[in-house]
Amino acid sequence: MLENNDKSSTPLEKIGEFGLIKQLTKDFKIFHKNTIKGVGDDAAVLDKTNKNTVITTDLLIEGIHFDLGYMPLKHLGYKAVIVNLSDVYAMNATAKQITVSIAVSNRFPLEAIEELYSGIKLACDTYQIDLIGGDTTSSTKGLLISITAIGQANKEDIVYRSGAKANDLLVVTGDLAAAYLGLQVLEREKQVFQVNPNSQPDLTKYNYLIERQLKPEARKDVIRIFKNLKVKPTSMIDISDGLSSEILHLCEESQVGCNLFEEKIPLDPQVIATCEELNLESTTIALSSGEDYELLFTIDQKDFDKIKGNPNFTVIGHMTDKNEGAHLITRANQKIAIIAQGWRSF
Ligand code: ADP
Ligand code: MG
């Protein structure tokens, strides 16, 4: 978890837009040679490249995508960068630059926005990302953050959602469902806190879940592992909206079907224990909950030996002909059609 810095409070009017931008961006480092000009002119300048450029953007709105009641601003900044980097890695590309645009109401003092940017900076330092620009404006009420990430990859290395073939293996990184359960725990504690502000909950038995919700990571390491193992997935997507909806995206874009085996879905022991405690079905949560930011991909069967035994990867199923449809094979060997029940912002 990230620690919060102590806050005094300087109203934003006092330092003005230019002062604010300067204050927020002054400590950022530039990591990449191809960033010719970052923050400080009318536009950023990137050098030409013989690679393909990958661009992705996300808009996060207070009250829809995050709740500052349990999401500290530093964590929010960190996570806002991570969700974009995850999309770049899901193309098997290297993320290099971001722009960050914010709309802030006068309810936030300078120190709050600095806290947000300390999380953004931590993500940039951790993942070697150059902050090259953005926009700053006011909002009537909440906080809005829009981040655009730019990455690069050799044309032949880019992995789309559309390349899966029947008989390819379906593989997932890490484990699933923890971020959603972390949110459930935090929401429950927020309600307890509203009733009794002196409550000091002991959340240690949920530490992994809360960490996955408040400080997710993007799988940059996996892109490197693919290079080292000389594996190019046939299709790939990051898991932001839950396993079932991501599987259906791969099936739809690749025009294939799939068999997913319930017993193979990787779950952390804390996920299993907390599902029991909250009376939730762990498979349902893994299928339908979001924000794990793991990678879901398919590989040709001939590449199986390269990933076999690697603790980062779990084979959870295989692709089939399109007309076989997409199914979950349960522990009881029942075949159930996979339906999209992923997290939706609407
Ligand atoms: P303009 O008025 O020409 O859009 P701005 O004054 O908004 O220019 O921005 C000045 C510089 O600061 C630009 O390089 C811009 O990309 C950068 N910038 C503005 N807001 C942010 C922000 N919230 N985070 C990072 N960089 C920013
Ligand atoms: Mg501007």
pLDDT digits (tens, 9 = 90+) for 232-288: 999 999 999 999 999 999 999 999 999 999 999 999 999 999 999 999 999 999 999
Q: Is 181 in the same domain as 270?
A: yes
CATH of residue 232's domain is 3.90.650.10
Which DSSP category does 155 fall into? G
Q: Pairing mode, if any, of strands 313-320 and 52-61?
A: unpaired
* Three-state secondary structure call for residue 194: helix
Q: Is 79 in the same domain as 151?
A: yes
Render 285-321 in DSSP notation, one character per residue: HHHH-----EEEEEE-GGGHHHHTT-TTEEEEEEEE-
pLDDT, tens only, 102-114 = 999 999 999 999 9
Q: Is 174 in the same domain as 142?
A: no
- Which ligand is nearest the CA of 134, by number? 1
Q: Is 126 in the same domain as 207?
A: no
Ligand 2 center to residue 312 CA distance, Å?
41
12 and 110 Cβ atoms separated by less than 8 Å: yes
Which of 107, 131, 157 represents a domain boundary (last residue)? 157
Q: Is 109 in the same domain as 239?
A: no
Instruction: State how far the alpha carbon of 97 is from the alpha carbons of 32, 222, 286, 302, in Å.
Output: 8, 19, 31, 35
Q: Is 278 in the same domain as 198?
A: yes
The reported pLDDT for the residue numbered 1 is 67
Residue nearest to atom 9 of ligand 1 (CA): 135
Enter the pTM of the model: 0.94
Amino acid at position 256, single letter: V
Which of 157, 182, 205 represents a domain boundary (last residue)? 157
- What gap in Å lies between CA 55 and CA 151, rounded to an integer? 6
The reported pLDDT for the residue numbered 174 is 98
The reported pLDDT for the residue numbered 312 is 98
Q: Which of 140, 3, 27 is nearest to 78 (CA)?
A: 3
298 and 153 Cβ atoms separated by less than 8 Å: no
121 and 28 Cβ atoms separated by less than 8 Å: yes
> At a CB cut-off of 8 Å and minimum separation 6, what does 11 contact?
106, 109, 110
Q: Which of 39, 98, 129 to mutate to test the pocket of ligand 1 (most atoms within 8 A of CB)?
A: 39
Tens-digit pLDDT profile for the chain (346 aa)? 676 555 678 999 899 899 999 999 999 999 999 999 999 999 999 999 999 999 999 999 999 999 999 899 999 999 999 999 999 999 999 999 999 999 999 999 999 999 999 999 999 999 999 999 999 999 999 999 999 999 999 999 999 999 999 999 999 999 999 999 999 999 998 888 888 888 777 889 999 999 999 999 999 999 999 999 999 999 999 999 999 999 999 999 999 999 999 999 999 999 999 999 999 999 999 999 889 999 999 999 999 999 999 999 999 999 999 999 999 999 999 999 998 765 444 4
| Pocket-forming residues, ligand 1, beta carbon under 6 Å | 21, 24-25, 39-42, 100-102, 131, 133-136
341 and 288 Cβ atoms separated by less than 8 Å: yes
1 lies in some domain: no
3 lies in some domain: no
Q: Which of 45, 110, 135, 145 to mutate to test the pocket of ligand 1 (most atoms within 8 A of CB)?
A: 135
Our count of domains for the chain comes to 2
Residue nearest to atom 27 of ligand 1 (CA): 134
7 lies in some domain: no
137 lies in some domain: yes
Q: Is 151 in the same domain as 268?
A: no
246 lies in some domain: yes
Instruction: Find the helix or strand (DSSP H, E) in which 152 lies.
Output: strand 144-153
| Residue 195, φ and ψ in degrees, nearest 5 | -80, -45
Burial label for 195, CB within 10 Å (0-12, 13-18, 19+), is exposed
Q: Is 191 in the same domain as 322?
A: yes
Q: Is 75 in the same domain as 135?
A: yes
298 and 168 Cβ atoms separated by less than 8 Å: yes
Amino acid at position 310, single letter: N
- Which ligand is nearest the CA of 101, by number? 1
- What gap in Å lies between CA 223 and CA 145, rounded to an integer? 27
Q: Is 129 in the same domain as 219?
A: no
Ligand 1 center to residue 133 CA distance, Å?
5
CATH of residue 143's domain is 3.30.1330.10
163 lies in some domain: no
Ligand 1 center to residue 40 CA distance, Å?
7
Ligand 2 center to residue 134 CA distance, Å?
7
Q: Is 321 in the same domain as 183?
A: yes
182 and 211 Cβ atoms separated by less than 8 Å: yes
Nearest ligand 1 atom to the CA of 25 is: 25
343 lies in some domain: no
Task: Name the one residue in this structure whose structure tokens are 């979950």.
Answer: 328
Which of 91, 124, 157 represents a domain boundary (last residue)? 157
Ligand 1 center to residue 17 CA distance, Å?
9
Q: Which residues pair with 54 in a beta bridge?
A: 151
- Which ligand is nearest the CA of 147, by number? 1
Determine the structural domain holding residue 76 and report its residue range: 12-157
Nearest ligand 1 atom to the CA of 42 is: 3
Q: Is 118 in the same domain as 217?
A: no
- What gap in Å lies between CA 14 and CA 339, rounded to an integer? 52
114 lies in some domain: yes
- Which ligand is nearest the CA of 41, by number? 1
* Three-state secondary structure call for residue 220: helix
Q: Which residues pair with 170 in a beta bridge?
A: 298, 317
Residue nearest to atom 19 of ligand 1 (CA): 135
Nearest ligand 1 atom to the CA of 131 is: 25
H-type helices in 26-139, by residue range? 73-89, 110-127
